[in-house]
Chains A and B, each alone.
Chain A
Amino acid sequence: MTDHIPALRLEGIVKTFPGVRALDGVALSVMPGEVHALMGENGAGKSTLMKVLGGIYQPDEGQIIVSEVPTVMTSPLQAKSKGIVFIHQELSLAEELTVAENIYLGELPRRSFGRVDWTMLYAQTDAILKKLKVGFNAKTIVGDLSIANQQMVEIARALTVDAKAVIFDEPTASLTDAEKVVLFDVISDLQAQGVGIIYISHRMEEIFKITDRISVLRDGSYRGTLNTRDTTEEEVTQLMIGRALDLTRNESHHTLGDVALEVRGLSCGDLFKDVSFEVRRGEVLGFYGLVGAGRTEIAETLFGLRDPDGGVILLDGEEVRVTSPADAISKGISLVPEDRKGQGLVLGMNCRDNMTLPQVGNLSSGPFVAPGAETAIFDKYKEKLDIRTPGWKQTVGNLSGGNQQKIVIGKWLSMNPKVLIVDEPTRGIDVGSKSEIHTLIRELAAQGYAVIVVSSEMPEVLHVSDRIVAMFSGRVMRTFTSDEVTEESLIQAISGIAPTQKVA
């Protein structure tokens, strides 16, 4: 670090949303030529911080300083013009266009009368691609490239400006090991050119391989910066989770019933492989892992949305094949999906109709709906789940997230399922309603339902689960009971580190 002026410095960034202090005085400084890891659990504030940096959110307090010049960011494009460039986890490329067109999208070099200067475009692009040492050229169609190469195009896009800092957000999520090596080469080239790099990742192995310093966020506040050379995975993990837990560990020990659902060796393409687990009546089985670990995909397979290519599903000890959601529902498997608004609710419909949607046909007399019976069901579960709405006629889209989620849960409870799968039970739900949903899940188990909870929030998994399945890139790493699980061992299991049998 020859230059002593930070490429990018964030000072005392505060950002509040109604009811949540998402960022509480966060500081971060990246030197030129440094790879700086930003770590923290899901919900720790990393993405909010990056959105502040990209001008998508305006901070309530604090400032962004680029090369010692305080700067107000108004949009990602404007941030780019100031030399701050983002490489997102999700690629945003026009697949039908060439590499060159993608790289200079919106700023194609022009000749007179608005004609594109193709010669110049291809020359400039090839110059950038040469720096990246990639195996394709400016005229290649982006859609023909592998995901890793598409990511290179994104990176090339970043290099069209004189970048001071480049932010990589989970760049290796969809890369193979060989492709990772190429990416790391590019990163070290950038480093050599004096670009500051913020590297966001959950993967300890990579962090320790390529970064110089590690900054940790927890619950929206800055917890410190460590020199990668002088620290250990344990120390980083401690920093990430070492808070006084606001959610206590699940310690209920009611007696469990029979095995309701057993899965043996279930596989589905690259999504997950050889997954086995069982869940009993009266038990909450948690699934924990990083985004892309295959948790949601398992839930979708059980619900008939995906075809497995191997393995068996046993329901009450009998082997079943689930071919469609309709089939799953009739067999007693129900799913509260991850994306409540997109997959779980018909937002334009009223509360009652949403709740009775899967069973209007069962309740009807002939082809005619039975409004009386439907209202009775709604009233029962409104009472039971404490759904706060003026009445059944209320359009679901007008309810709060917590109440919407209760409608979806009520929808399945009213059909008395054998297995209830809840994917991200509290995503986008405010803190108060969160604990209500958690209590509800525990109560359902106590009433004898077999419940599977998929979550990417560790406190949540620890709070509601009797046992926890830890997943890493499509495989079950380890299944913990609530007595033996520790936050460290759980984090290690989902980061792909060989399980160390450390019992707290």
Chain B
Amino acid sequence: MEAGNLSKILKNSAIWGFIVLELIFFSIAGEFLSLSDKAFMDVDNMLLLLKQSAPIGIIAMGMTIIMVNGNIDLSVGAIFALSAVILLDSLSWSVFAGLGDWVIPVSWTLALLTGVALGAINGLIVWKTGVDAFIVTLGSMLGFRGLVFMYNGENPTSSLNWTLVDFAEAQFLGFHTATWFLAVVTLIIWYIMTRTVHGRNAYAIGDNREAAVNAGIKVGPHMLINFMIIGFLSALSAVVFYSESGSVNPNDGQLYELWVITAVVLGGTKLTGGSGSIVSTLGGVLAIQLLRKGLGHIGADTSTVNLVIGLILIAVLFLDRQLNAKGKEELKI
């Protein structure tokens, strides 16, 4: 029985071990290969890394709940883009002209509500039709992206509000605004997953849906709530990112769903549901960002980065499979 706990600890800390390896590797390799004379583990560099992790990281927290619940959401990138469009466009709506800087919380709220509404659409369809979430959100990914293009054609939607930019670029205790958002989201979702009835039931549904139904758990509402949470977080991610950049292209956020899922899976969450942890997802998010940044640091281009991350993902899943297969045999009575 102790062995079970030990392998659990090993598995949960594996991603952090990987992060340490990455740090060591890039620090040493950086000495020889980097064009810049700054060390990889420079404080500013690390702070920036955290900030850059935020957009994917915030959504990844929602994806963890969704996947633990046994679903998946491919539409997060499109929700991200549509919420960003609403955010930036509404800043300059004439109805809000008299509000001054008070337009900021109003626009934020509108963007976040957009995310929740789009998530609710996904959730309702999955619940009421019983169609697999993969298919439903594949459809809504295309549909929501279509809405983005309908809104402003191929043109970017822009609006620079300097108060907003100042807020987004602020640093508190050294950490950027975006990092704080990621931290707070991580904490809240962790709390939901581990300390609430909803979190408990989400695990149960993902692990064994039939047993959950037989225990009187109403599966549909829980799934709906989770899709609303991830919709909200996709929008929040957009709010955090575009408050600073001030301009959104209709293609922004494409492939976000894949980066998010990669991070979550690297963190050890099972695609089949029932198992996963928020803390490990945070590890997965940081590991990917480190890899992107580190490979850039030693002079690799984007395509190399993608190739390496792809290979690592497959290697990790293969290892996981081997470990689990072994564990299962031991379990047999």
Contact = CB atoms under 8 A, between A and B. Distances in A.
Contacts of A361: 197
B4 interface: yes
A348 B215 contact: no
Interface of B: 1, 4, 195-201, 203-204, 207-208, 210-218, 274-275, 331, 333
Contacts of A329: 215-216
B201 to A, nearest CB: 7
B208 A346 contact: yes
A400 B199 CA distance: 27
Nearest to A389: B1
A413 interface: no
A76 interface: no
Contact of A357 (B198, B217, B274, B331): B217
A335 interface: yes
Interface stretch (A78-86, A236-244, A270-278, A390-398): A390-398
Nearest to B273: A348
A367 B275 CA distance: 21
A459 B222 CA distance: 43
A151 B197 CA distance: 48
Interface centre among B199, B208, B274 (most CB of A within 10 A): B208
Interface of A: 303, 305, 324-326, 328-330, 335, 337, 342-349, 353, 357-358, 360-361, 364, 367-369, 390, 394-395, 397-398, 400-401, 411
A368 B274 CA distance: 19
Interface centre among B211, B214, B217 (most CB of A within 10 A): B214
Contacts of B275: 348
A325 B218 CA distance: 9
A25 B326 CA distance: 35
Contacts of A305: 214
B203 A346 contact: yes
Nearest to A300: B214
B212 A345 contact: no
Nearest to A411: B215
A348 B211 CA distance: 12
Given A325-B216, A343-B214, A367 B196 contact: yes
Contacts of B208: 342-343, 345-348
Contacts of A303: 214
Interface centre among B197, B212, B217, B218 (most CB of A within 10 A): B197
Given A357-B217, A358-B215, A411-B215, A346 B195 contact: no
Contacts of B274: 346, 348
A369 B195 contact: yes
A316 to B, nearest CB: 20
Contacts of A353: 200, 204
The 3 A-B residue pairs whose C-beta atoms are closest, nearest first, are A326-B216, A329-B216, A357-B215
B269 to A, nearest CB: 12
Given A325-B216, A348-B275, A400-B333, A343 B210 contact: yes
B4 A346 contact: no
A368 B196 contact: yes
A364 B214 contact: no
27 contacts: A325-B214, A325-B215, A326-B216, A326-B217, A328-B216, A329-B216, A343-B208, A343-B210, A343-B214, A346-B204, A346-B212, A347-B207, A348-B207, A348-B274, A349-B204, A353-B200, A357-B204, A357-B211, A357-B212, A358-B215, A358-B217, A360-B200, A364-B196, A364-B197, A367-B196, A369-B197, A398-B1
A344 B216 contact: no
A57 to B, nearest CB: 15
B197 A344 contact: no
A337 to B, nearest CB: 6
Contacts of A390: 1
Nearest to A391: B1
A375 to B, nearest CB: 14
A326 B199 CA distance: 18
Given A367-B197, A369-B197, A398 B214 contact: no
A330 B216 contact: yes
A325 B213 contact: yes
B4 A369 contact: no
B134 to A, nearest CB: 21
A342 B275 CA distance: 17
Contact of B214 (A330, A337, A348, A369): A337
B68 to A, nearest CB: 10
A369 B199 CA distance: 9
B211 to A, nearest CB: 5
Contacts of A360: 197, 200-201
A493 to B, nearest CB: 30
Contact of B331 (A325, A368, A398): A398
Nearest to B191: A368
B301 to A, nearest CB: 41
Given A369-B195, A397-B331, A400-B333, A344 B214 contact: yes
Interface centre among B200, B207, B213 (most CB of A within 10 A): B200
A405 B211 CA distance: 13
Nearest to A370: B197
Nearest to A304: B216
A308 B312 CA distance: 53
Contacts of B200: 353, 357, 360, 369
Contacts of B196: 364, 367-369
A478 B213 CA distance: 33
A289 B204 CA distance: 33
